[in-house]
Structure 1
Amino acid sequence: MKKSRLFFLVPYVLWLGLFVIAPIILITINAFKGDDGFTLKNFQQFFVNGTFLRMTLNSFWYAFLITLITLLISYPIAYILSQMKNQQFWLLLIILPTWINLLLKAYAFIGIFGKHGLLNNFLKLFGIAPANILFTDFAFIFVAAYIEIPFMILPIYNAICDINPAVIQAAYDLGASKWQTFMKVLWPLSKSGVESGIQAVFIPSLSLFMLTRLIGGNRVITLGTAIEEYFMTTMNWSMGSTIGVVLIVLMVIVMLFTSSDHRRKKEIKL
């Protein structure tokens, strides 16, 4: 048994070492590299320069909006889905868009939001002149939220399905209203799924760069676009690595902040 476990563990360790740990080590070393060897100049520039601080605030603001919108949409959908028949079929429809390449979905929305796109052609029916929808904050947040919704729905749905229906029924029998049942029973018991969904949406949203270019244009500037700019355009890999290290630290902080204490899970028996 020990040999078989070791056999299956080796590929995972190799994958983790080569594609997770090694890149982090390389960009960390590169972040502290200067013309004269080891230096903190890049980090000093990041925290002193107002441009980088604005990028950081923009990244958190957009990630917050995307996460909030996906949560407000996903929680009711997850609850309704947990009450429906043929749940696997509806889950398949929710998961299906994730099988499509992100770049293809971005170009599809360019066609929808473009000046002569589907949405503007629809607005013309009401006498509304072609609106500038593409390359706006609205377009970027809408597309990002659409792409991230499945990753919010699934953990919330799983958490709600794990709740014993007898607990919900007991709350109604004891005179609780629907709102009280939601706040006192459903929300606390499904909070672990909400936290997992927030992690799955907020953390990737901090580092978006493809959508910021294709959908948001130059109006949306985040740390992700800054990393792309320094690595691919200015070729300043040291500064790009510095931003990457800061972004990783921010992601770890967010993950620790949103992690729940799994020991609080309790089985409620009536």
Structure 2
Amino acid sequence: MTTSKRFYSIPYVLWLGLFVIAPVLLIIYQSFKGIDGQFTLENYRIYFSSSTYLRMTLNSVFYAFVITVIVLLISYPAAYILNQLKHKQLWLMLIILPTWVNLLLKAYAFIGLFSAHGSLNQFLSFIGIGSQQILFTDFSFIFVAAYIEIPFMIMPIFNALEELNPSLISASRDLGANNWETFRRVILPLSMNGVKSGVQAVFIPSLSLFMLTRLIGGNRVITLGTAIEEHFMVTQNWGMGSTIGVILIIAMIAIMLLTGEKRKKGGRRH
């Protein structure tokens, strides 16, 4: 049985090694190389001593935090209501469907909506408000990023709510708790694993959004993802781009550790 498990795990180990571990090791290795190809710590010195890179880091964390909070405030009530519906699996599929559409296509769709002559500005002009600068603003970037990330927050929360034992909710109400107390003391704590998984699924990608910063933010929103793209595609300073990539990887690991499920020591108490 053990030999069989090891045999079937070979494709997974190969995939993990070739497409996860190897690229990360290559990025770490490249981060210690200068433009001349020589081994150096200069990239890390520049990063930690530059106010520009530190400001980009703060911007990345700030925007990722704002996007995650907005998505969570929308997704939890949506997942809760969705879980109460009769045909909830059908409604969940309709929410997931937009994730099948290419990100670039969705970005260009929002460019058409938010542009100076787009549908939204035409509507604002029609009701007398007049055309507004919506595209290439912080608002447009956060709005589009939140829209794209919402399904990835709803799914884990929905699954966590669906796995709740209904008898626990019934017991809470039998003991005199009202709907709010039942939600606060029973439903919310028991669904926190879904919330944590959703935060990981939204916050981590939001740290490195660069396509939306270009197309929707118009380079007004500068993040570490934008800097990585700039170094790899424009300046050809792969060492500095890899250094920023290493910083992002460390930040992502930190978020996973902070939001991961903590194991209880000592077993279950009786």
Above 0.5 in TM-score? yes
Match of 1:165? 166
Residue type matched to 2:238 in 1? W
Normalising to structure 1: TM-score of the pair? Answer: 0.94
Residue type matched to 1:46 in 2? Y
Match of 2:118? 117
Q: Secondary structure at the match of 1:33?
A: coil
Match of 2:203? 202
Report how far residue 251 of structure 1 moved. 0.5
Report how far residue 175 of structure 1 moved. 1.9
Match of 1:41? 42
Q: Secondary structure at the match of 1:140?
A: helix
Report how far residue 5 of structure 1 moved. 3.2
Structure 1 residues not aligned, in runs of 5+? none
Match of 1:146? 147
Q: How does 1:1-270 map to 2 (within 5 A)?
A: 1-2=1-2, 4-34=4-34, 35=36, 37-263=38-264
Residue type matched to 1:25 in 2? L
The number of residue pairs the alignment matches comes to 266
Distance 2:20 2:166 in 1: 41
Distance 2:38 2:15 in 1: 30
Report how far residue 207 of structure 1 moved. 0.8
> Comparing 61-70 with 169-178, which one deviates more in the overlay?
169-178
Q: Secondary structure at the match of 2:9?
A: helix
Report how far residue 55 of structure 1 moved. 0.3
- Which stretches of structure 1, 4 residues or longer, exceed 6 Å deviation after superposition? none
Report how far residue 36 of structure 1 moved. 7.5
Q: Secondary structure at the match of 2:254?
A: helix
Q: Secondary structure at the match of 2:177?
A: coil
Report how far residue 37 of structure 1 moved. 3.1
Distance 1:247 1:94 in 2: 29
Please give the root-mean-square deviation of Cα atoms over the aligned residues, in Å.
1.7
Distance 2:80 2:49 in 1: 46
Distance 1:101 1:131 in 2: 28
36 and 27 in structure 1: CA distance in 2 versus 1, 3 angstrom threshold? closer
> Comparing 170-179 with 3-12, which one deviates more in the overlay?
3-12
Report how far residue 8 of structure 1 moved. 2.9
Residue type matched to 1:107 in 2? Y
Residue type matched to 2:138 in 1? D
Percent of residue pairs identical: 66
